[in-house]
Structure 1
Amino acid sequence: MLIAFNKPFNVLCQFTDRSGLQGGMPARRTLADFGLPAGVYPAGRLDHDSEGLLLLTDDGRLAHRLTDPRHKQPKTYWVQVEGTPDEARLAALRRGVVLKDGPTRPARVRSIAAPALWPRDPPVRFRKTVPDAWLELTITEGRNRQVRRMTAAVGLPTLRLVRVAVGDVALAGLAPGQWRLEAR
Structure 2
Amino acid sequence: MEANNHRHFILHKPYGYISQFISNDVKSHKKKFLGELYDFPVETMSIGRLDEKSEGLLLLTTNGKLSATINSKKIEKEYYAQVDGIITSEAITLLQNGVEIGLHGKKYITKPGEARKIESPNFKARTQKIRDERHGPTSWVSITLKEGKFRQVRKMTSAVGFPTLRLVRVRVGEIQLDSLVPGEAVEVRSLLPFQH
Aligned residues: 179
Distance 1:129 1:61 in 2: 47
Q: 8 Å contact 1:67–1:142 — kept in the other structure?
A: no
Distance 2:135 2:53 in 1: 24
Q: In the alignment, which residue of structure 2 is the partner of 1:83?
A: 85
SS in 1 for 2:91: helix
Pairwise mapping of residues 86-165 of structure 1 onto structure 2 (< 5 A)? 86-101=88-103, 102-165=108-171
Distance 2:135 2:56 in 1: 28
Shift in Å, 1:66:
1.9
Shift >6 Å, 4+ stretches: none
Q: In the alignment, which residue of structure 1 is the partner of 2:55?
A: 51
How much is the aligned-residue C-alpha RMSD, in angstroms?
A: 1.4
Distance 2:129 2:21 in 1: 25
With structure 2 as the length reference, what TM-score do the two structures score?
A: 0.86
Distance 1:129 1:56 in 2: 38
| Alignment partner of 1:12 is 2:14 | no
Per-residue CA distance 1:85-143 (angstroms, 9 max, x = gap) = 11111000000111123111112111111100011011100232422100111111111
Q: 8 Å contact 2:38–2:185 — kept in the other structure?
A: no
Distance 1:14 1:62 in 2: 17
Shift in Å, 1:26:
4.2
Partner amino acid for 2:77? K
Shift in Å, 1:32:
1.3
| Gapped regions of structure 2 (runs ≥ 5) | 1-6, 191-196
Q: 1:88 to 1:17 in 2, by over 3 A?
A: same
Q: 8 Å contact 1:53–1:166 — kept in the other structure?
A: yes
Distance 1:2 1:120 in 2: 26
| Alignment partner of 1:28 is 2:31 | yes
SS in 1 for 2:81: strand
Q: Percent identity over the alignment?
A: 35
SS in 1 for 2:149: coil
With structure 1 as the length reference, what TM-score do the two structures score?
A: 0.91
Shift in Å, 1:40:
1.1
SS in 1 for 2:17: coil
Shift in Å, 1:148:
0.2
Q: 8 Å contact 1:17–1:28 — kept in the other structure?
A: no
Distance 2:111 2:121 in 1: 26
